[in-house]
Structures are given as C-alpha cells and as structure tokens.
Amino acid sequence: MIEYRVGNDLDLDAVLELYRDSTLGERRPIHDRELFAAMIAQANLIIAAWDGDRLVGISRSVTDFAAVTYLADLAVSESHQRQGIGVELMRRTQEASGPKAQIILLAAPKAVEYYPRVGFTQHPSAWVLKPGETVG
C-alpha cells in the first residue's frame, strides 16, 4: 500500500537516498547538502510516496497554483518503479496545481520515452540558461 503526502517536511538523508536509489541522483547535486536542502525547502509543491516508513517516490515542483507548474524532479526508487507511482505522483501534482495549470518539465535522458508514454506532448521550443551563463 503506497501512501501519498504533500509537503516539504522531509528528512534530507531520506530524500538523498531516494535520489540515489532512483538513479536521478546521477543528475542532481546530491553531494551539495546545502543546495539540496534548499531544493527541498523552497520548492512549493512536493508530493512524496511512502511505503510504510520508507520514502519511495517524489514529485518536486515550483508552481503558482494557477497557470503553470514546473515539475523539477520526479523520482521513484528502483525497487518500486513501474508500479504506477510516477503516474500517480504526477496526477496528484496536476490536481494540486489547479484545473488551468499546465505542467512543464525537462526529461532526464533515462525518461525521454516515459513522458510521451504517459500523456505529455513534446515542446519544440524549450530554452535553458545554465548557471554562469549570462543574458544579453
């Protein structure tokens, strides 16, 4: 039985373990605890999936709860993948965002086949300004 809970009150080490377990940790700054703590504290929509007292999934977003939700991270522990947890986390993220909000994300290489499969449309014009790059 998986339980889903909304909120940022998560133990940093449990979150880091989940990012490692899911493999998303390969692409996130899991060795920078301070930055990671801010990622958890400052995101304004986090939905966590729990199997008993074990954190097994997370959807971490920045949203205005009106027009747009940026889904920054979606991760499910390897032991719990392909059981519908990722879809359920996104369904709840969409529901919490409000009926007029669109969900926007950048897929990690391992998940490029996943998002079209679960209903997302590829956007031909996504743009990124990386840290250290300047505008203008």
Residues that bind ligand COA (CB under 6 A): 22-24, 74-76, 81-87, 107-108, 110-111, 113-114, 117-118
Provide the 3-class DSSP secondary structure of residue 124: coil
- Annotate 40-105 with DSSP letters as a single string: HHH-SEEEEEEETTEEEEEEEEEE-SSSEEEEEEEEE-GGGTTSSHHHHHHHHHHHHH-TT-EEE-
Q: Which of 5/110 has CB closer to ligand COA?
A: 110
Report the residue number whose CB is nearest to ligand COA.
86
**96 or 108: CB nearest ligand COA:** 108
Distance in Å, CB of 136 to ligand COA, minimum:
29
In whole angstroms, the minimum distance from the beta carbon of 111 to ligand COA comes to 4
